Amino acid sequence: MTRLSVNVNKIATIRNARGGNNPDLVQVVRDCERFGAEGITIHPRPDERHITTKDVYEISEVVTTEFNIEGYPDERFLKIIDEVKPAQATLVPDGPDVITSCAGWDVATHDQFLTDVVARIKASGVRVSLFMDPDKEQIEKVPLIGADRIELYTEQYATQYLKNKEQAIAPYFQAAEFAIQLGLGLNAGHDLDLDNLAYFNNNIPNLDEVSIGHALICDALYFGLENTIQLYLRQLKN
């Protein structure tokens, strides 16, 4: 069954808006796992707009499920990965000034850079996933640089879902089948929600994990965090 990794960035955003420690991010991580989350995802950006470097180390002390740290692989990020040794490092091509991840890697352009950082991360015993568009020409280069998985960037799917869900899922299904043929593991994330998640999960073969933050925290404002996590888990079981 596809695992649900809860991205807690937005909890840190709320906390940072007022300073102090309310909500308590570490306690939220504990509670997410207690409520059924099968993983915790964070994205410690250089400007610390949400997750701070201090948060990374504090969360690493309490997380008991799969810990996924995503980010651009600069020296700061690589140092964190080497010291924390999460289960998975998800590499995204974001510059420091972007609001949120908005594109997958151009592996062909950055092949040597990615080969070097992937080797460095895997030497620490950490699984590596690359944030990718559903582009078979790019995906076919991923095994050559040594990454273990790809995370399909699903904003385009989410945008098109309400217009034509069959058309929206088609490139992702093709990309997923191709990735599986190449021996890659498969994750997905970005704008997946209670409306579109079940259809995506039911039509993408061998999906290992989805990482969901923004939509899940928005839903929790209405349904409560425990109930919301259970609602998302049900989408992955149906």
Question: pLDDT per position in the chain (238 positions), as tens?
Answer: 899 999 999 999 999 999 999 999 999 999 999 999 999 999 999 999 999 999 999 999 999 999 999 999 999 999 999 999 999 999 999 765 655 566 789 999 999 999 999 999 999 999 999 999 999 999 999 999 999 999 999 999 999 999 999 999 999 999 999 999 999 999 999 999 999 999 999 999 999 999 999 999 999 999 999 999 999 999 999 6
DSSP 8-state symbol, 105:
-
Q: Which CATH number do you get for residue 26?
A: 3.20.20.70
Q: Would you call 47 exposed, middle or buried from its count of C-beta atoms within 10 A (0-12, 13-18, 19+)?
A: exposed
According to the model, what pLDDT value does residue 189 have?
Answer: 97
According to the model, what pLDDT value does residue 156 have?
Answer: 96
Radius of gyration, alpha carbons of the chain: 17
Q: How many CB atoms lie within 10 A of CB 33?
A: 18
- Total tally of structural domains belonging to the chain: 1
The Cα–Cα gap between 133 and 103 comes to 7
According to the model, what pLDDT value does residue 102 have?
Answer: 64
According to the model, what pLDDT value does residue 97 have?
Answer: 61
3 state SS of 197 = helix
Query: What tokens were used for 87?
Result: 């289960």
According to the model, what pLDDT value does residue 96 have?
Answer: 59
* Active centre residues (catalytic): 43, 70, 190
According to the model, what pLDDT value does residue 86 have?
Answer: 98
According to the model, what pLDDT value does residue 99 have?
Answer: 52
The Cα–Cα gap between 171 and 134 comes to 6
According to the model, what pLDDT value does residue 231 have?
Answer: 98
Beta strands in the chain, from DSSP E residues, in sequence order: 3-7, 39-42, 66-71, 88-91, 127-132, 149-153, 185-189, 209-212
According to the model, what pLDDT value does residue 103 have?
Answer: 78
Range of the domain at 77: 3-237
